[in-house]
Amino acid sequence: MLQQFLDRFSLTDFLLKIFQIVAIIILVVGVFKSLGADKYTSGQWVTLIFAGLAQGSIYALIALGYTLVYGILLMINFAHGDIYMAGAFTTVFLANSFAASGFLASSPFLAVLILILFAAGVSMVLNVIVERVAYRPLRGAPRLVPLITAIGASFAIEYSFRGFYGAEFHSYPLIPALNGLNYNIAGFSVPSVQIVVLVAALILMVALYYFIEKTKIGKAMRAVSEDKEVARLMGIDVDKTIMITFAVGGALAGAAGVFNGLFRPQGVFFFMGFIPGIKAFTAAVLGGIGNIPGAMFGGLFLGILEAVGPNLILEGLGIPAVNQLRDAFAFSLLVIILIFRPQGIFGEKLSEKKA
């Protein structure tokens, strides 16, 4: 009995287990102490949660791009955060001229719709170009190789846009129709912009879900992600399907860029995609990479965790200025998930080939 146990015992597993237990203890202690301190009212928590949901829906839209590409090519499109930046950055100029002409004030719905379509178009085209130039020539190469070109593509995009539009920060105009307006949800007031962003993002996600599940192209995408060779034998144009996947992922990222601009007008610049890119990847992993509903829930979940987590967990541990550590908190979450549940919350255990 003991012998059997010793045979199976591995130091790595043991230490990882200890690490896991320590992480859980820290979490529980932090939560209890924070809640015990009674520093925030329930209204403040609700505000945080809704801000988190709006931010999370943006992560979810970006995460869908990661997940779609990973599902088909089993590669991380490292440049995806910058695709999001490209859409947001290019559209900021259009948005500002809409605001200057009064179009944004007179018909806000139509104006925002045009902005979303424009950003989605820019990101879509760019993502397709990246796929064509940086990934397609390397089909079948060792897995590290496309990852390296993806890193290269990421830098090339960032600094190209810096060259095009300059290194300054830009900001989206405020929408007069939404500015300062609050909705009342169950007695708590929530900024209307957050509700609009959340609803619009949810509509896009549902549309994507139907696109993947119900249309013929969606079927082809699922077939290619299952097995490229067999899909080819069934008469599916694999290269074209991959291109469409990148196009869809890019369009969602571009739309996310405009939502981000509505929700957080400031801080549009060439490096803005880097952090959301890693966070969206975290969201995709959280939901199980390759899993489309997983990415949606992962994004929303990460948004809430990130908004509430530092105040809920870190503050109780006596750490000052927790908001500075928000990004570090999200990245730590990524590490912890990948250590203990690499298949994500909703993901099935992936085979060795995919993991």
Partner 1 sequence: MNILKENFRTTMLRFGLVGSIVALYLAAVGMIETFAPRMLIGTSITLGHVFLLLAAVGSGFFSARELKEHSLGITATAGFISGAVSSLFLVILTFVIQFFVIQADQGSIFKLREMFVNFSPTLLEFLTFGKGLILGNILLIGLFGIMGVLGASFSFLPKRIRKGWINGLAWVFGIGLFSENVGQIFREFNGTSLNKLLFTGKSLNPIAALLIFAIVFAAGYYGVKTATNNKWKTFSPDQQKQGRLIFTVLGILFLVALPWMVGLFLSQALFIIGMYVMMGLGLNIVVGYAGLLDLGYVAFFAFGAYTMGILTSTGELGRVGFSFWAALPFAVLAGVLWGLLLGFPVLRMRGDYLAIVTLGFGEIIRIMALSNWLASLGGGAQGILHIPQPELFGLVLDSPQLMYYLVVLGALLAAFVTIRLRDSRLGRQWMAMREDEDVAEAMGINLVQTKLLAFSIGAAFSALAGAIFAARIGNIFPHSFNILISMNAISLIIVGGLGSIPGVIVGAIILIGLPEMLREFAEYRLLMYGFLLIIMMIAKPEGFWPEKRRRQELKDERDRQLASQTAELEN
> Site residues for partner 1, window 94-113 (CB under 8 A)?
94, 97, 100-101
Q: Which of 26/94 has CB closer to partner 1? A: 94
What is the chain's Cα-based Rg?
22
Q: Which of 158/306 has CB closer to partner 1? A: 158
211: contact with partner 1 by CB under 8 A: no
35: contact with partner 1 by CB under 8 A: no
Phi, psi of 175, deg, nearest 5: -90, 120
CB of 74 vs partner 1, minimal distance in Å: 9
d(CA 241, CA 248) in angstroms, rounded, equals 11
Strand partners, 184: 189
Nearest to 268 by CA among 49, 153, 115: 115
> Site residues for partner 1, window 129-188 (CB under 8 A)?
133-134, 137-138, 141, 143-149, 151-160, 162-166
| C-beta of residue 58 within 8 angstroms of C-beta of residue 276 | yes
118: contact with partner 1 by CB under 8 A: no
158 exposure class (CB count in 10 Å sphere: 0-12, 13-18, 19+) = buried
* Nearby residues of 120 by Cβ (< 8 Å), 6 or more positions away: 87, 250, 251, 252, 254, 255
User: Structure tokens of 144?
Assistant: 């590290």
CB of 132 vs partner 1, minimal distance in Å: 12
Using CB under 8 A as the binding criterion, the count of chain residues that bind partner 1 stands at: 60
Q: Which of 205/337 has CB closer to partner 1? A: 337
Binder of partner 1 out of 108, 342, 345, 350 (CB under 8 A): 342
Strand partners, 191: 182
43: contact with partner 1 by CB under 8 A: no
321: contact with partner 1 by CB under 8 A: yes
**x/- site string to partner 1, residues 242 to 281, per CB under 8 A?**
--------------------------------xx--x--x
26: contact with partner 1 by CB under 8 A: no
Q: 203-209: long-range contacts (C-beta < 8 A, 24 or more apart)?
A: 204/61, 204/252, 204/255, 205/60, 205/61, 205/64, 205/296, 208/64, 208/248, 208/252, 208/292, 209/292, 209/293
Nearest to 80 by CA among 256, 219, 210: 256
Q: Which of 106/215 has CB closer to partner 1? A: 106
CB of 189 vs partner 1, minimal distance in Å: 31
Angle, helices 274-286/80-101, rounded to nearest 10 degrees: 120
Give the residues lining the site for partner 1 (CB under 8 A). Answer: 11-12, 15-16, 19, 75-76, 93-94, 97, 100-101, 133-134, 137-138, 141, 143-149, 151-160, 162-166, 274-275, 278, 281-282, 285, 319-321, 324-325, 327-328, 331-332, 334-335, 338-339, 342, 355
